[in-house]
Amino acid sequence: QVQLVESGGGLVQPGGSLRLSCAASGSISTNYVMGWYRQASGKQRELVARITIRGYTDYADFVKDRFTISRDNAKNTLYLQMNSLKPEDTAVYYCNLVNGATGFGSWGQGTQVTVSS
């Protein structure tokens, strides 16, 4: 019922920055949690950061103090500001939305982030 479309990925040098966006559409609850996950080649998908409707945030240790998650509730859009990028950050980044009432989740198609010199 919910569609998520990510954008903003690309190639960046180590130490550089990118800002990812995720636009949500469809049947969206007024109570939901949105987050970013990533999956590197040959690795399992892992949580990067998530944010509640009230703005409470949770970050993975490996991105804390470098990445910032935010949301624009009026636009149903999620953002991830990524600074001080490292080659280890190279992965496909996925947007996720979880209905706070039902626990049902939706995923975007992913956007590739490549950090390389």
pLDDT over threshold 80, residue 101:
yes
Give pLDDT, residue 102. 85
User: Averaged over 77-87, what is the pLDDT?
Assistant: 97
**Looking at the predicted structure, is the pLDDT value of residue 38 above 90?**
yes
Q: Which amino acid is at 97?
A: L
Give the per-residue SS3 of the chain.
CEEEEEECCEEECCCCCEEEEEEEEECCCCCEEEEEEEECCCCCCEEEEEECCCCCEEECCCCCCCEEEEEECCCCEEEEEECCCCHHHCEEEEEEEEECCCCCEEECCCEEEEECC
